Amino acid sequence: MLNDDKRTPDNGDADDLSRRRFFVKLGTGSLALAGVGTALFAYQYLSPNVLYEASPVVNAGKPDQYVPDSVTLDPATGIYLVRATEGFYALSAVCTHLGCLTAWKPELNLIACPCHGSKFRRDGTKIEGPAPKPLPWLRVWLSDDGDLMVDRSTTVAERQYVRV
């Protein structure tokens, strides 16, 4: 307002220029805001709110179907259910190297990965191979119906056996 009062014919152009600059800034600012909004919008849209994936919790059945001192692979869920003398425990069968499904080799008494040759003992500890970490122990508990339940999304410390 003060500028208006002091305006002379000479700085009229300068005033015009600053108004133009103001609107250029307003325009580019709006575009930037719209760009950020679009990015957020796209991120929200691209992240699914509901997934049709298998539940991480698996029902492994009654404990007595597992013979003592055995390792059982369920390829569909990717877990080993091991019945040791101390009790039951579950291992992830997914190799910690690059995610291949490992296999139990009873004749060699070890777990082997077919992709890159990693080898593990039946307690998940690593014998050799490119795998950086041992196979993790998964949370196991008994349901009210007496079924063995495994939560594939929760790892527990080693040597946590479930006694039946």
- Residue 10 in contact with another protein, rule: CB under 8 A: no
- Decide if 130 contacts 116 (C-beta within 8 A): yes
| Contact present, 113 and 91 (Cβ < 8 Å) | no
- Contact status: 51 vs another protein (CB under 8 A): no
Report whether 71 contacts 123 (CB < 8 A): no
Count of residues binding another protein (CB under 8 A)? 13
Asked if 74 contacts 81 with a C-beta cutoff of 8 angstroms, the reply is yes
Whichever of 46 and 157 has its CB closer to another protein, that residue is: 46
- 110 in helix, strand or coil? strand
Q: Does 44 bind another protein (CB under 8 A)?
A: yes
| Among the listed residues 45, 68, 106, 107, the single contact to another protein using CB under 8 A | 45
Residue from 4, 5, 48, 67 binding another protein (CB under 8 A): 48
Which residues of the shown chain bind another protein in the complex (CB under 8 A)? Answer: 21, 24-25, 28, 41-42, 44-50
